[in-house]
Structure 1
Amino acid sequence: MLKIGILLPHDYRLLSVAAILDVLEAANKIYSASEKAMPFDIGLYQITDESTNFNGSFHGYQVRSIADEKFIELILIPAFNTENMRQTIMKNYAYLPWLNRQFQRGAEIGSFCTGTFLLAASGLLNGKIATTHVDACTAFTASFPEVLLRGDKTVTQDGRLYTSGGSTSSFHLLLHLVQRYCSKDVAVKIAKIFAIDMDRNRQSYFSTFQPLRDHNDTIVAMVQQKIEANYRNAETIEELIKDVPSSRRNVLRRFKQITGIPPIEYLQQIRIEAAKKLLEQTNQHMGEVIFSSGYNDPKAFRRIFRKIVGMTPTAYREKFQTN
């Protein structure tokens, strides 16, 4: 049996833990129904001072402390439910050296949705490909610039490290793991039980660009305000930042350092977000949408839209239009 350790960190999202348990239990039941040895030995782990929160048990599972240093073959980190990720990571700091020790001993580690923040804080994702919830990508990139974030991906694997995108993307990582440790046949059965679309490999069209504002850099805040107020008419970034009391080089450096993306990409994100709202909420002709979102070249608009969103503007309207 594969020894699996599911973490119960501070501020974990209950729905995430439940999804992980449901899928792994379903795989075990499929084997048990065929009178075969169950594939997964599931355990739950917490920091020592938290491991008594459930009187030693969580929905029938013994809650163990990470202090026992028992080797775990596959560690799974659930999503977080928090408004302050930095604070949450600090509360869970004790997991970081433990994750590194487990990985050095050969463990595989998977993180779900915003659980990727904790995995990244361990340093194990530096130079590795990863994904997370689409709406957390900007904050993630700003916090962990050395991670090769692929925010459009539903699931990533880089060596012994796995990550998933937001919400239902967690099921796709679970299917990936079931197929890896069991078989494709079992993965298909699980997909049918939970009504999971196995072919979905992108999540970018679910994203909503949420600019990072939790910083104290007045220069960067000024540039953000200028872009957001003038995205329809701005010709170049240089035009927007000409009155900012700092050198161009310093502005560009500080902006990317704080927000995780350069000003030109920030401008594109703001424009595409405006276009998405028009496609969702109005019946404007595509030419009007293009012009209203700050573009004059339809070809350039469609290329950038597809790059950011993962589908064409027409396909996006068909999928998400509300009126």
Structure 2
Amino acid sequence: MDAPTKPVPVHILCLPESAGSALYGMVDVLAATGVLWQELTGNEPVKATIEPRLVSISKDPFTCGNGIPVTPDCTLTDVPAPEIVIVPELWLSPEDAVADRYEDVKVWLRDSYDKGATVYSACSGSVLLAASGLLDGRKATSHWGYEDLFRSKFPDVRFNAAPALCIGDASGRIVTAGGTTSWHDLAIHIISRHVSPGEALRIAQVYLMKWHNEGQLPYAALVKRLPHADGIVRRAEDWLAKHFRDADPVAGAVSACQIPDRSLKRRFRAATGTTLISYAQNLRVEAAKRQLEESSASVDQIAVDVGYENVAFFRRLFRRSTGLSPSQYRKMFQPLLPMAK
């Protein structure tokens, strides 16, 4: 693919909830295409290939997350038919579905897509896309911390917390990226698609940007304490947190809660969104992850310690839960030892 003859206009949506690191990181990286590598090596003429512009509700300056100042370049009405739109990470709680604000932004996003725009989001930016209706019936991802929000508030979205990048449909005009620094993956994808794969590789090399081909699963917390009002289920969660290594933790939890097996399983799933056995397995895998990060114990030893005599089953479960083998996980997350003096 040849580089475009003139800079590609890219409009990056900025709001008070925007994360400054993702917002300005995206501006810096995209503006460097066709420029930075060439300046460092002197091998090619310098020519910018992407023109990032900040678009917002008005051009009035404001501060976004952590008090970072933002001065928009243009307003939504200035750009009725953008070619490319990016919604970067937003500072949202895991319960915030953006249901009661930014209706004008949602309309602009839908209209832009209907007029032919390619729409991208990074991290929790996909929550705003979902609230606009653009993700209904489409595949999408976001930070793994928003999985429960998508399940409960946006059931029509085909949400998957595993990939770092998710192309929404066959047209490829809606693309969502996963958690926080997966905007790196999104920037590389955008440069590759709208400029050239070669330039995307050069930018990745200049910025030391890593393609997260392992996805998000290795980074995700498998056990989350969701808010609910079922005291019996909370008792089961507390009991499992202490006894997940037991030979039959599900039977133990049922006994500790003193209600029928089927009743507890039904109430547990309704309150937590998962099954008793899955919850216990997730506790075991989380404990194994900590040992892989912090100890030199063998994988076989760790399997037995967290409750699995069948090491082969443990290895399969670990890979299914994290996307990596135990050894790969250790290599990725165990801190480097200090160099000998």
- TM-score interval for Structure 1 and Structure 2 normalised by the shorter chain: 0.7 to 0.9
| Equivalent residue for 2:76, pick from 66, 78, 92 | 66
Instruction: Give distance in 1, aligned partners of 2:130 and 2:232.
Output: 28
| Equivalent residue for 1:263, pick from 269, 276, 288 | 276
| Equivalent residue for 2:168, pick from 139, 155, 158 | 158
Post-superposition offset of 1:44: 1.8
* Structure 1 counterpart of 2:192: 179
Instruction: Give distance in 2, aligned partners of 1:43 and 1:200.
Output: 29
Pair 1:97 & 2:107 matched: yes
Pair 1:17 & 2:18 matched: no
Whether the 8 Å CA contact 1:135–1:210 is kept in 2: the answer is no
* Structure 2 counterpart of 1:27: 33
In structure 2, give the amino acid aligned to 1:12.
Answer: S
* Structure 1 counterpart of 2:4: none
* Structure 2 counterpart of 1:120: 130
* Structure 2 counterpart of 1:52: 60
Pair 1:8 & 2:21 matched: no
222-231 or 187-196: bigger deviation: 222-231
In structure 2, give the amino acid aligned to 1:316.
Answer: Y
Change beyond 3 A, Cα 1:31–1:194: closer
- C-alpha root-mean-square deviation of aligned residues, in Å? 3.4
Deviations 1:3-38 (CA, angstroms, capped at 9, x unpaired): 422111232110000121112101153699866875
18-27 or 309-318: bigger deviation: 309-318
In structure 2, give the amino acid aligned to 1:11.
Answer: E
Instruction: Give distance in 1, aligned partners of 2:268 and 2:84.
Output: 38
Stretches of structure 2 lacking an aligned partner (at least 5 in a row): 1-6
In structure 2, give the amino acid aligned to 1:283.
Answer: S
Deviations 1:280-314 (CA, angstroms, capped at 9, x unpaired): 11233333311222222111110010111121112
Pair 1:275 & 2:288 matched: yes
Instruction: Give distance in 2, aligned partners of 1:122 and 1:253.
Output: 33
Change beyond 3 A, Cα 1:217–1:26: farther
Change beyond 3 A, Cα 1:26–1:59: farther
Instruction: Give distance in 2, aligned partners of 1:221 and 1:119.
Output: 34
* Structure 1 counterpart of 2:139: 129
* Structure 1 counterpart of 2:315: 302
SS in 2 for 1:228: helix
Instruction: Give distance in 2, aligned partners of 1:153 and 1:239.
Output: 35
Instruction: Give distance in 2, aligned partners of 1:175 and 1:228.
Output: 41
Change beyond 3 A, Cα 1:61–1:193: farther
Please state which structure has a larger fraction of its residues in helix.
1
Whether the 8 Å CA contact 2:144–2:178 is kept in 1: the answer is yes
SS in 2 for 1:110: strand
Change beyond 3 A, Cα 1:31–1:60: farther
Q: Could you state the TM-score of these two structures normalised by the residue count of structure 2?
A: 0.78
* Structure 2 counterpart of 1:284: 297
Deviations 1:175-226 (CA, angstroms, capped at 9, x unpaired): 1111111111111111111112347342322233350433444454344333
In structure 2, give the amino acid aligned to 1:15.
Answer: S
Bigger CA radius of gyration: 2
SS in 1 for 2:54: strand
In structure 2, give the amino acid aligned to 1:233.
Answer: D
Instruction: Give distance in 2, aligned partners of 1:32 and 1:59.
Output: 30
* Structure 1 counterpart of 2:3: none
Instruction: Give distance in 2, aligned partners of 1:218 and 1:47.
Output: 45
Change beyond 3 A, Cα 1:212–1:71: farther
In structure 2, give the amino acid aligned to 1:21.
Answer: V
Whether the 8 Å CA contact 1:54–1:63 is kept in 2: the answer is no
Structure-to-structure mapping, 1:223-238, within 5 angstroms: 223-233=236-246, 235=248, 237=250
Stretches of structure 1 lacking an aligned partner (at least 5 in a row): none
Post-superposition offset of 1:150: 2.7
18-27 or 208-217: bigger deviation: 208-217
Aligned residues: 318
Whether the 8 Å CA contact 2:97–2:127 is kept in 1: the answer is no
In structure 2, give the amino acid aligned to 1:235.
Answer: D
Change beyond 3 A, Cα 1:284–1:32: closer
